[in-house]
């Protein structure tokens, strides 16, 4: 076996195609909830000082319910497909190293004002570059570690 | 009871910062010692690795005393997948290190009770004290080993205290 070490030039074709597809499917805007840096202190760590969040707009995005067998007491799961170009723009704006760093900081995603927690993130790629981010979400319920 | 919970966390956090300054985490954009109170942070799907997570569970009170004695159970959860340098093959050692750190920061088993809701922080008249850690068996799930320790924390309810 040999590895494919060929040089691949950057090509935005797949990203543009994905963006066009998301828009054609009714792509809308969702908000990635990123905690605003707060003064480090006891009150912030003890839940005395309320945390504030900034909502980073991600667009175009498609939101749908994951069709799984429903079980009593378990929250429903959803899938969010977000444009990779929108994620890249936010990674650049926040001067982060990767999309993983962005999602690691995120407290969740707001869709039409409702908060969902991020359970998993995958990024299908074409020519070594992510053209879409698929986020598995679930409704924000009190504790469930 | 809230003052006792706050005091217990801050005591452990300060001791951890001295014992192992390298055990830190970046949480909500702030670098801090690797210990947190679960109920004071955002809900997450998975325990963060290599940090101590305090979870408050049982509460009992003894009212047959001059001051009400609150008895609260704190579960301290921690999980590790080892280090990337060792490809996770040192996860057993990493867990052992966290076991030892937890034992160390729990001693001495008492500290003066403080009211962190006041500014400046107000020292109260009674201490917070706790039992030795009761460790549970380690649980392996995929590439991570998880353990928890139960500690019973005692505190007297002072007049007018939350």
Closest CA to B41 of A78, A73, A139, A49: A49
With 50 as the cut, is the pLDDT of residue B16 above it? Answer: yes
**What is the distance in angstroms between the Cα of B42 and the nearest Cα belonging to chain A?**
7
Average pLDDT for residues A34-52, to the nearest whole number?
79
Q: If one looks up domain B2-157 in CATH, what number appears?
A: 3.30.2000.30
Please confirm whether the linkage preceding B40 is cis (ω < 30° from 0).
Answer: no
- Condensed to tens digits (0 to 9), the pLDDT of residues B93-132 reads 999 999 999 999 999 999 999 999 888 888 999 999 999 9
For residue A84, count other CB atoms closer than 10 A to its CB: 22
Angstrom distance (rounded) from CA B13 to CA B27? 14
- 3-state SS track over A59-108: EEEEEEECCCCCCCCCCCEEEEEEEHHHHHHHHHHCCCCCHHHHHHHCCE
Query: Residue ranges of the domains in chain B?
Result: 2-157
Size of interface A-B (CB pairs under 8 A): 65
Extract the tokens encoding A31.
Answer: 């908000």
A35 interaction partners in chain B (CB closer than 8 Å): 28-29, 42
Complex confidence, ipTM: 0.81
Contact B37 A44 (CB under 8 A): no
* Whole-number pLDDT of residue A35: 83
How are the residues of chain B apportioned to helix, strand and coil, as percentages rounded to the nearest 5? 20, 45, 35
A45 φ/ψ angles, rounded to the nearest 5 degrees: -80, -20
- Condensed to tens digits (0 to 9), the pLDDT of residues B32-86 reads 999 999 998 877 767 889 999 999 999 999 999 899 999 999 999 999 999 989 9
* Optimal mutation site among B3, B26, B30, interface A, most CBs of chain A within 10 A: B30
């Amino acid at each position: 076996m040999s590895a494919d070490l060929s040089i691949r030039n950057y090509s935005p074709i797949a990203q543009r195609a994905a963006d066009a597809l998301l828009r054609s499917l009714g792509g809308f805007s969702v908000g990635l909830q990123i905690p605003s840096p707060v003064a480090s202190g006891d009150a912030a760590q003890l839940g005395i000082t309320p945390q504030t969040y900034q909502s980073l707009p991600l667009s175009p995005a498609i939101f749908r319910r994951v069709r799984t067998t429903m079980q009593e007491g378990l929250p429903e799961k959803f899938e969010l497909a977000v444009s990779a170009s929108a994620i890249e723009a936010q990674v650049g704006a926040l001067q982060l190293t990767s999309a993983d760093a962005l999602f690691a900081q995120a407290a969740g995603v707001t869709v039409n004002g409702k908060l969902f927690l991020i359970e998993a993130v995958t990024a299908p790629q074409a020519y070594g570059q992510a053209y879409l981010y698929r986020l598995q979400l679930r409704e924000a319920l009190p504790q469930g570690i | 009871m809230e003052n006792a919970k706050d005091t217990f966390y801050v005591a452990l956090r300060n001791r951890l910062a001295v014992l192992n300054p390298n055990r830190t985490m970046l949480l909500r954009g702030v670098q801090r010692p690797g210990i947190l109170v679960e109920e004071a942070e955002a809900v997450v799907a998975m325990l963060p690795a290599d940090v101590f997570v305090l979870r408050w569970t049982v509460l009992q009170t003894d009212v047959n005393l001059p001051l009400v004695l609150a008895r609260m159970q704190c579960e301290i959860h921690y999980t590790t997948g080892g280090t990337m340098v060792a490809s996770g093959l040192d996860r057993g050692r990493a867990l052992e290190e966290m076991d030892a750190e937890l034992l160390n920061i729990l001693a001495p088993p008492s500290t003066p009770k403080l009211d962190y809701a006041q500014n400046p922080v107000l020292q109260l008249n009674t201490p917070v004290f706790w039992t030795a850690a009761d460790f549970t068996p380690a649980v392996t799930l995929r590439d991570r080993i998880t353990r928890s320790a139960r500690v019973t924390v005692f505190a007297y309810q002072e007049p007018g205290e939350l």
